[in-house]
Structure 1
Amino acid sequence: MAERKIFGLGKNVFFTGLVSLFMDISSEMVYPLVPLFLTGVLGTTKTTVGIIEGIAEATASILKVFSGWLSDKLGKRKFLMTIGYGVSAASRPLIAVSNTWFQVLTARFIDRVGKGVRTSPRDAIIADSTEKEKLGLAYGFHRSMDTIGAVIGPGIAFALLLLSKDNLRLVFYASTIPGIIAVAIIILFIKEKKRAVGEAKAPPRLSISSFNGPFRSYIVVIAIFSLGNFADAFLVLQAENAGISRELIPIVYVLFNIVYALSSAPLGALADKVGFKNMILASFLLYSLIYLGVAFSSSPIHIWILFPIYGVYKGMTDGTQKAYLAVLAPKEQKATAFGVYHTVSGVMLLPASIIAGFLWDNIGPYATFLYGSAMSLAAAVFFAFTGRQDRA
């Protein structure tokens, strides 16, 4: 009997999207406020912000390759998802009680450990539950659900800040609740897909050499781009620098996420038609132009224009990059492949964010964003000459 679809997608895809919606409500209640908490309340430098975000994301990414490999080896994707989301939910109150930047780093580290454990198995569950010709739509839908949560989260944060007179710690405490709901959905509704008899093979090798040439070339592209794709915390700081008040920062973030949420699914479906490589190339070029604009932004209106366009870029790229990866990766190494992808992009985030912070502190904000723009353009050129054209 065929599985009953929800919005034309498998149940696992739908409920995984719902999990991400609630976890992103939790995350985005916290994330846009952390750099303001660090610089405004704890008095840290921009370089320190870059180090904290870089270490946190690099930690998550290093773990993603191991969790992906373990998921392929054990065939236990749901279990690793539950552990990962649970750890992240438990980290929220730790930020609220922090009084030093090192305590914030510890809380962010724990949160990203959870992300590192859950992401590759989650992405593999989506691939396992989706027909090849619907991969772009499936990952686009997931990013839409994730981003709807990212719209709701800052909205809740904004309301709580108004009601509590800028009590950041209260927002951090409240963010625990949607995280717990996300874990409950995994336990109750995600169904592990059992391996067919005779499908099990030798444990996958934890080595990039076991993948084909197009996959390895794609990972190099992601590494180049990620070296200039520093933490979004710097966008938040530039928004404040350009004249956006602290109370309005979550609203700017909501606007960005509304566009991101509305564009992810249709742009994912469009990528299924025009080819993943073409969509990824277009996203790199758009990113370069956006960061060029941010580099020279000097008034609130520039931020109100550029943040929604950045949402379009996110809608073009996140799901499409994963769908392209799913086409390139062997079936028995899907989660390992996602782990390699996330690890490379995240490890690059550490030097990217440190470089961004250093440029900001020693030259100026414009240098930070010009650097990001140049690296994205370099990735586009390399991908244009090396990437395999492959439609779903």
Structure 2
Amino acid sequence: MYVASVRPSERVRGKVPGTVVALGAVSLLTDVSAEMVTAFMPVYLLFTLNMSYAQFGVLDGLYTGATAVLRLVGGLVSDRTHRHKAVAAAGYGLSAVTKLIFPLVGASAFGIGATMAADRAGKGLRTAPRDALISLATPPDRLGAAFGLHRSMDTVGALLGPLVTFLLLYWLGTVAGPVFVVSGCFAAIGLIVLVAFVRENPRPAPTGPRPSIRAGLGLLRQAGYRRVAVASALLGLATLSDAFVFILVQQATGAPLHLLPLLPLGTALVFLLAAAPLGRVADRVGRWPVFLGGHVALLAVYALLLVPGTGYAGAVAALVCHGLFYAATDGVLSARVATLVPESLRASGLAVVQTGQALARLVSSVAFGFLLQYAAFGTAVHTAIASLVVAVATSLYLTTTARPT
């Protein structure tokens, strides 16, 4: 097993390194931008352009899975060049540019799909280098707290993004242009903060395997790392995208359609309150048990969709469980993986696991879109519940029957 490392000068007792705080500010601004688009897309595609659930599932899967290959590229390039910040900046810049392209493609499904893919490609390029910057700047016994703080700041943006979208739609109606322009402005400011305020301390060339795609994928030969990668991909396959969760909550509870862009606020608020505390809990009791516990919370979300007549109370309960799911999984998985890979392959090791999850969620979105299109609501939700139960049970088996290494 490899242990995350950090420079001695950065070991400040009881504090999270400044690099983590600065990256949190970047993610906050970028997530305002990203969540504006996420909140707007279901309304725009399903109810303005009148796309079917199957078409929406394909586009949503593309939006999720387009990050896959470039996660590997971002991880490899940043490990090879030791310039994690520069690679992350390229990803943030690509996503910022796409926000200005969205208004130009109009109602073209191909244009929207291509632009969504480019936007998510930017996310794929930046995610592993950014998480590597966090893990390399943080002592191993505080990784959960560091990722928890970063995700909490990120979630402030996720909280503000849907609210900004709702206000724009309330004032201007369902007009795409202003939403994407304002989103692009937030993304540009986030990129400026990254370039100006995130410091990447010079480091000697790390010892360990030479970075390459083969070396990154070769980590899968290590039993502990392979079990985490396989289990997280299985769980990703049984995880519905946020867009589908919010659509299902709106339909199951009978909430007015105009409130759909506000539903992500509930998830984001709970995530904001719970991410840092659950990160500290994960440092103490183990990151994998907390990660699996988050998927039990997601199972509760699915189950609540089948309870009749819950109204607004049911919507609130589902969103609370959804927020707890993200708080227990989003940063916790990165903290777990960071301890399993050598420093020289830190970004690549994170990228391989993230790629598996992205590809699994692409398949999940496409499959569930077709299921919701051609099957009854209850059948679709029961299928999602059964898939998640199997995935959690299999992941638990993989990680509890393994021999100690």
Given that 1:92 and 1:173 are in contact with CA atoms closer than 8 Å, whether structure 2 keeps it comes out as yes
Spell out, residue by residue over 1:361-385, the C-alpha distance to the aligned partner (whole angstroms, 9 max, x if none): 1112333333332232223222222
Spell out, residue by residue over 1:25-47, the C-alpha distance to the aligned partner (whole angstroms, 9 max, x if none): 01111102102111111111111
Counterpart code for 1:2 = S
Q: Distance in 2 between matches of 1:49 and 1:167?
A: 19
The answer on 1:383 being equivalent to 2:395 is yes
State the partner residue of 2:101. 94
The answer on 1:208 being equivalent to 2:217 is yes
Q: Distance in 2 between matches of 1:325 and 1:297?
A: 40
Q: Distance in 2 between matches of 1:51 and 1:210?
A: 31
**Which of residues 332, 352, 360 is equivalent to 2:344?**
332
Counterpart code for 1:34 = M
Spell out, residue by residue over 1:139-164, the C-alpha distance to the aligned partner (whole angstroms, 9 max, x if none): 11111111110001111111111111
Counterpart code for 2:244 = F
Q: Distance in 2 between matches of 1:380 and 1:345?
A: 14
State the partner residue of 1:139. 147
The answer on 1:294 being equivalent to 2:323 is no
Q: Distance in 2 between matches of 1:341 and 1:260?
A: 22
Partner SS, residue 2 of structure 1: helix
Give how far 1:106 is off: 1.4
Counterpart code for 2:119 = D
**Which of residues 202, 226, 234 is equivalent to 2:244?**
234
Given that 1:47 and 1:361 are in contact with CA atoms closer than 8 Å, whether structure 2 keeps it comes out as yes
Counterpart code for 1:155 = L
**Which of residues 203, 222, 229 is equivalent to 1:219?**
229
Given that 1:287 and 1:373 are in contact with CA atoms closer than 8 Å, whether structure 2 keeps it comes out as no
**Which of residues 135, 153, 156 is equivalent to 1:148?**
156
The answer on 1:55 being equivalent to 2:66 is no
Give how far 1:7 is off: 7.9
- Structure 2 spans left out of the alignment, 5+ residues: 1-7
Alignment map for 1:1-392 (pairs within 5 Å): 2-3=9-10, 8-97=15-104, 98-196=106-204, 199=207, 202-204=210-212, 205-211=214-220, 212-242=222-252, 243-296=254-307, 300-301=311-312, 302-387=314-399
Counterpart code for 2:275 = S
Q: CA 1:281 to 1:203, structure 2 compared with 1: closer, same or farther past 3 Å?
A: closer
Q: CA 1:363 to 1:6, structure 2 compared with 1: closer, same or farther past 3 Å?
A: farther
Partner SS, residue 370 of structure 2: helix
Percent of residue pairs identical: 28
Q: Distance in 1 between matches of 2:195 and 2:207?
A: 26
Counterpart code for 1:346 = A
Q: Distance in 2 between matches of 1:185 and 1:108?
A: 24
Given that 1:25 and 1:151 are in contact with CA atoms closer than 8 Å, whether structure 2 keeps it comes out as yes
More moved, 140-149 vs 371-380: 371-380
More moved, 292-301 vs 305-314: 292-301
Q: Distance in 2 between matches of 1:190 and 1:42?
A: 40
Give how far 1:252 is off: 2.0
Q: CA 1:239 to 1:21, structure 2 compared with 1: closer, same or farther past 3 Å?
A: same
Give how far 1:105 is off: 0.7
Give how far 1:297 is off: 5.7
Give how far 1:237 is off: 1.9
Given that 1:42 and 1:101 are in contact with CA atoms closer than 8 Å, whether structure 2 keeps it comes out as no
Q: Distance in 2 between matches of 1:125 and 1:59?
A: 23
Q: Distance in 2 between matches of 1:356 and 1:313?
A: 20
Partner SS, residue 192 of structure 1: coil
Give how far 1:18 is off: 0.6
How many residue pairs match? The answer is 389
- Structure 1 spans left out of the alignment, 5+ residues: none
Give how far 1:199 is off: 4.2
More moved, 221-230 vs 195-204: 195-204
TM-score in terms of structure 2 length: 0.90
Q: Distance in 1 between matches of 2:380 and 2:344?
A: 40
Give how far 1:298 is off: 5.6
Root-mean-square deviation over aligned CA pairs: 2.1
Q: Distance in 2 between matches of 1:184 and 1:331?
A: 28
Given that 1:29 and 1:156 are in contact with CA atoms closer than 8 Å, whether structure 2 keeps it comes out as yes
Give how far 1:245 is off: 2.4
Given that 1:38 and 1:101 are in contact with CA atoms closer than 8 Å, whether structure 2 keeps it comes out as no
Give how far 1:202 is off: 2.8
Partner SS, residue 191 of structure 1: coil
More moved, 239-248 vs 123-132: 239-248
